[in-house]
């Protein structure tokens, strides 16, 4: 499947690919996920979203019609964090119970096994605040296997710099595609940068791209600044 919004970084992503987005907070990972969601619901794709922000806030941020946002199947991980009642059909009741979460996600993915879906988990690091890395890795192995079997397209957000080095090394082993993000201060400007760091099915283009968001659109340009 083509993801025009990622043009330059990657041209085509095969069904069953698990993409992990790794970078520091505020670098644009979640914003890029929102743009992917908006792009794909416009082309009649179903999106399954596990989110740790209010689901309604996410929908409003897309600036899409209700008919289109209805294609976004939300798994609400925010309400249990906030201790409030959820209006969503699918809810993460306990962030420490990864088995329950895995069963919930697997049931939903099974509904779309014929055509697959766009699956986004933002952010996996939130789950790691409640469970150990060992349990989280086991969960991730199961989740990525489910995504591949169901021919879905997975995008998993992970924060950089708050987990152990061994955890990141295992992420790089699990993922089919790694999008690496970083922030650079240059000429008194703060730049967001992104690159394809690992790609199992292609030769990764490891050059950096500047990443910017304008009026609900993504702008990617080859970065020609200093070497870093």
Q: Among positive and negative, which fits the CA dihedral 24, 145, 9, 220?
A: negative
Domains in the chain, number:
1
Residue 10 has a pLDDT of 87
70 falls in which pLDDT band (50, 70, 90)? confident
- For residue 3, what is the DSSP state? -
Q: How far apart are CA 172 and CA 170, in angstroms?
A: 5
Q: How far, in Å, CA of 65 to CA of 58, rounded? A: 13
Q: Is residue 28 one of the residues assigned to a domain?
A: yes
Read off the pLDDT of each residue in 43-72 and give the average, rounded to a whole number.
Answer: 84
pLDDT of 88-112, one tens digit each? 999 999 999 999 999 999 999 999 8
Query: CATH no. for residue 58?
Result: 3.40.50.300
How many whole angstroms separate alpha carbon 156 and alpha carbon 172? 12
- Domain extent, residue 137, equals 4-222
Report the C-alpha gap between 3 and 11 in whole angstroms: 7
Can you give the pLDDT at residue 226?
60
Answering whether pTM is above 0.95, one says no
pLDDT value of position 17 = 96
Q: What is the pLDDT of residues 181-203, one digit of tens each?
A: 999 988 888 999 999 999 998 87
Specify burial of residue 174 (Cβ count, 10 A radius: 0-12, 13-18, 19+). middle
DSSP letters spanning 55-111: HHHHHHHHT--HHHHTTEEEEE-HHHHHT----SSEE---TT-HHHHHHHHHHHHHH
Q: Specify whether the CB–CB gap between 206 and 178 falls below 8 A.
A: no
Decide if pLDDT at 228 tops 60.
Answer: no
| Mode of pairing for the β-strands spanning 18-23 and 72-76 | unpaired
pLDDT tens, residue by residue, 11-20:
789 999 999 9
- pLDDT of the residue at 214: 84
- Mean pLDDT estimate for the chain: 91
Residue 60 lies in a domain: yes
In a domain, 154, yes or no: yes
Query: Would you say residue 228 lies in a domain?
Result: no
**Residues 71-97: what's their mean pLDDT?**
92
Q: What is the mean pLDDT of residues 34-53?
A: 91
- The answer as to whether 227 is a domain residue is no
The whole-number average pLDDT for the span 59-77 is 82
Confidence (pLDDT) at 43: 87
- The pLDDT of residue 90: 94
pLDDT at 227: 52
Bigger pLDDT: 137 vs 204: 137
For 140-166, what is the mean pLDDT? 95
Q: Within 10 Å of residue 12's Cβ, how many Cβ atoms?
A: 11
Average pLDDT (49-69) is 83
Pairing type for strands 177-186 and 189-199 reads antiparallel
Asked if residue 18 lies in contact with residue 174, where contact means CB atoms within 8 angstroms, the answer is yes
Q: For 54-67, what is the mean pLDDT? A: 80
């Amino acid at each position: 499947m083509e993801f025009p919004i990622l043009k330059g970084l990657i041209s085509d992503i095969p069904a069953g690919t698990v993409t992990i987005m790794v970078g520091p907070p505020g670098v644009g990972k979640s914003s890029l996920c929102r743009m992917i969601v908006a792009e794909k619901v416009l082309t009649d794709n179903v999106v399954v979203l596990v989110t740790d922000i209010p689901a309604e806030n996410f929908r409003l941020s897309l600036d899409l019609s209700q008919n289109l946002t209805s294609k976004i199947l939300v798994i609400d991980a925010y309400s249990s964090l906030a201790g409030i009642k959820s209006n969503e059909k699918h809810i993460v009741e306990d962030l420490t119970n990864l088995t329950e979460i895995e069963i919930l996600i697997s049931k939903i993915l099974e509904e779309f096994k014929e055509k697959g879906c766009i699956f986004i988990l933002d952010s996996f690091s939130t789950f790691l605040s409640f469970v150990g890395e060992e349990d989280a890795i086991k969960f991730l192995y199961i989740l990525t296997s489910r995504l591949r079997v169901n021919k879905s397209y997975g995008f998993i957000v992970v924060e950089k710099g708050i987990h152990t080095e061994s955890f990141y090394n295992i992420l790089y082993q699990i993922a089919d595609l790694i999008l690496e993000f970083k922030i650079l201060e240059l000429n008194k400007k703060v730049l967001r940068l992104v690159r394809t760091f690992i790609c199992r099915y292609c030769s990764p283009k490891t050059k950096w791209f500047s990443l910017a968001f304008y009026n609900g659109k993504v702008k990617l340009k080859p970065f020609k600044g200093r070497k870093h």
